[in-house]
């Protein structure tokens, strides 16, 4: 299980400390939540902060774009140091544009990820499962940390797993803790994003370990 702690729940005045804290306790990737105030009703991290995080992190940066027009900014986030770049299906105008952006991201030699919001049916993204490296299933409405896990969204993992090549990484994001993480693992997930569960825990090591089993 690939564990990707979301720094949205970290202390933004102590990002270096908080990145080291999860890296030293078993984090595989660092999840960077980029929000633009348009695609989601919140504004968080952009390109310069992502570039600064790259200087600090020793594990791959897993960048989750929750923005409109991701094709405009993909190159900048790749230059800033994204190792996995995930954008939203709902932010794109056509399936052809989705395919073009997946191919553009992969042409830089990094992993391309596609994400779906809770109301998007998995059938919509089946045509891309042989193209993307990672499929991110949102189990909360994107925009904020600390929301409640929606189990009916996690059910989509099963449909995706059945139709995907074994190399596809299925990632889940939103309301993940030891219990909900186990549900996702049983449905076939390979990667868990967790923000508040890890960063608000008194014992970060056991929080991360509890997601790995
Ligand atoms: C939500 C973000 C998540 C968020 C998860 O829009 O994409 O990555 O940080 O936070 P928790 O784990 O607290 O639900
Ligand atoms: Zn995220």
Residues 116-138: what's their mean pLDDT? 98
- Return the best residue to mutate from 33, 151, 153 for the ligand 1 pocket (most ligand atoms within 8 A of CB): 33
Residues 95-117: what's their mean pLDDT? 98
Give the β-pairing of 111-116 and 84-88: parallel
CB 187 within 8 A of CB 149: no
Residue 155: exposed, middle, or buried by beta-carbon count in 10 A (0-12, 13-18, 19+)? middle
pLDDT tens-place string over residues 64-100: 999 999 999 999 999 999 999 999 999 999 999 999 9
Residues 13-26: what's their mean pLDDT? 98
Within 6 Å (CB) of ligand 1, which residues are found?
Answer: 6, 8-9, 31, 33, 64, 140, 142-147, 173-176, 193-197
Q: Which of 18, 36, 62, 173 is catalytic?
A: 173
The CA distances from residue 174 to 41, 79, 95, 105, in Å, are 16, 27, 25, 24
In this structure, what DSSP letter does residue 168 have? Answer: P
Q: Find residue 112's DSSP bridge partners.
A: 85
Task: Provide the pLDDT for residue 128.
Answer: 98
The CA distances from residue 18 to 13, 50, 178, 195, 208, in Å, are 9, 15, 21, 12, 14
- Please name the helix (run of DSSP H) or strand (run of DSSP E) that holds residue 111, with its range, or none: strand 111-116
What is the pTM assigned to this prediction? 0.98
Q: Mean pLDDT of all residues in the chain? A: 98
pLDDT tens-place string over residues 175-205: 999 999 999 999 999 999 999 999 999 999 9
Task: Provide the pLDDT for residue 213.
Answer: 82
Tell me: pLDDT of 159 over 90. yes
Give the domains, in start order, of the chain with CATH numbers.
Answer: 2-212 (3.20.20.70)
Residue 48: exposed, middle, or buried by beta-carbon count in 10 A (0-12, 13-18, 19+)? exposed
């Amino acid at each position: 299980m690939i564990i990707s702690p979301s720094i949205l729940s970290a202390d933004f005045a102590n990002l270096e400390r908080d990145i080291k804290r999860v890296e030293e306790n078993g984090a595989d990737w660092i999840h960077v939540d980029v929000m633009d105030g348009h695609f989601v009703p919140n504004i968080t991290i952009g390109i310069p902060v992502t570039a600064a995080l790259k200087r600090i992190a020793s594990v791959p940066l897993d960048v989750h774009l929750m923005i409109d027009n991701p094709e405009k900014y993909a190159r900048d986030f790749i230059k800033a140091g994204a190792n996995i770049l995930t954008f939203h299906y709902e932010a794109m105008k056509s399936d052809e544009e989705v395919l073009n952006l997946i191919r553009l991201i992969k042409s830089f030699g990094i992993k391309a990820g596609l994400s779906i919001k809770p109301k998007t049916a998995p059938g919509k993204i089946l045509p891309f499962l042989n193209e993307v490296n990672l499929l991110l299933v949102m189990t909360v409405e994107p925009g904020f940390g600390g929301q409640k896990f929606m189990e009916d969204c996690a059910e989509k993992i099963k449909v995706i797993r059945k139709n995907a090549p074994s190399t596809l990484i299925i990632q889940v994001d939103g309301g993940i803790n030891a219990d909900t993480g186990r549900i996702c693992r049983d449905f076939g997930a390979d990667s868990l994003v967790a923000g508040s569960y890890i960063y608000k825990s008194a014992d970060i090591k056991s929080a991360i370990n509890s997601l790995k089993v």
